[in-house]
Amino acid sequence: MDNWIALTSAFTIGLVGSLHCIGMCGPIALALPLGKRNTIQKVAGILLYNSGRIITYSILGALFGLIGQGFSIAGLQQTLSIAIGLIMLFSVILKSTLVISKFGALYRFVNFVKTRLSTFFKKTSFFNLWCIGLFNGLLPCGLVYVAIFGSLLSNTVFEATQYMLAFGLGTIPLMFTTSLVGSWTSNALKNKINKIIPVFLVIIAILFILRGLGLEIPYISPANEVLSPTSSEAKCH
């Protein structure tokens, strides 16, 4: 998949998925310790908060990009793409949100993140707003998992980092508006959004599966030799 197509899909996941984020991370965005600042200072603080989230997403992209690069070198990205798509489909069918925070060390890690977040909320400094964003990006979120799955399919660590960066940028418009304007979504609208998100996830899952099948469909399911860099290298020799 061309890199610009991957980045566009990542941005779209972030943009559409941020409808869901309003429900999950909205309380944090609404409770930011902005103090009695003027509008310009509040905008700067909100941007710092969002930049912190994006930095965390980008770091996660780099970390998982290392794993994805290994699959790419081994020529197993097609298999990985199909597996990810199937996992996403089953998670929607079983109504599972993949909440991994309830298990062992991960549960303790999430508690640590929440504790740090509560500490940063006690002061209204710009540094604290940035740190809130950094730690917010570590909280369990189904749509972040989807984006991470996508970054796993990148050929290099750099591309995976770009993928998660694009995802984070896609979440900014609604998250920024939520922090600045306040709680502007009704419960009825939130319920409708919650019904749309599973459909969106199913579409993304199907695209992952098609990509792995290598059906020679332009942009959606390119041939296997295009997906695997090892095969193209072999042809050069």
Q: How many H-runs (helices) and E-runs (strands) does the chain carry?
A: 11, 0
Report whether 174 contacts 21 (CB < 8 A): yes
- Distance between CA 94 and CA 126 in Å, rounded? 42
Angle made by CA atoms 191, 187, 30, in degrees to the nearest 5? 115
Q: Which two tokens stand for residue 5?
A: 């197509």
- Is the dihedral angle over the CA atoms 29, 31, 34, 40 positive or is it negative? positive
Residue 79's pLDDT is 77
**Measuring CA to CA, which residue among 6, 21, 19, 7 is closest to residue 133?**
21
Residue 88 is which amino acid? Answer: M
pLDDT value, residue 170: 93
Q: φ and ψ at 221, to 5 degrees?
A: -140, 70
Task: Return the pLDDT at 46.
Answer: 93
Give me the pLDDT at residue 225, please.
Answer: 45
Task: Show the domain range for 98.
Answer: 3-236
According to the model, what pLDDT value does residue 231 have?
41
- Burial code of 119-150, b = ≥16 C-beta within 10 A, e = fewer? ebbeeeeeebbbbbbbbbbbbbbbbbbbbbbb
pLDDT attached to residue 74: 63
- pTM (predicted TM-score): 0.76
- Please state the domain count of the chain: 1
List Cα–Cα distances, 160 to 75, 76, 84, 90, 147, in angstroms: 17, 16, 16, 24, 10
pLDDT at 219: 59
Q: How far does CA 78 lie from the centroid of its chain?
A: 21
Residue 223: strand, helix, or coil = coil
CA dihedral 141, 67, 235, 219 (to 10 degrees): 0
Residue 163, pLDDT score:
93
Return d(Cα 191, Cα 214) in angstroms, integer.
37
Please report the pLDDT score of residue 97 as a whole number: 46
Question: In tens digits, what is the pLDDT along the chain, a chain of 237 residues?
Answer: 467 778 888 898 888 877 766 666 667 888 888 888 888 999 999 999 999 999 999 999 999 998 888 777 666 777 777 887 787 777 777 665 444 445 566 778 888 888 999 999 988 899 999 999 999 999 877 788 888 888 888 888 999 999 999 999 999 998 888 888 765 555 565 666 667 767 777 887 787 788 777 766 665 656 654 444 444 344 444
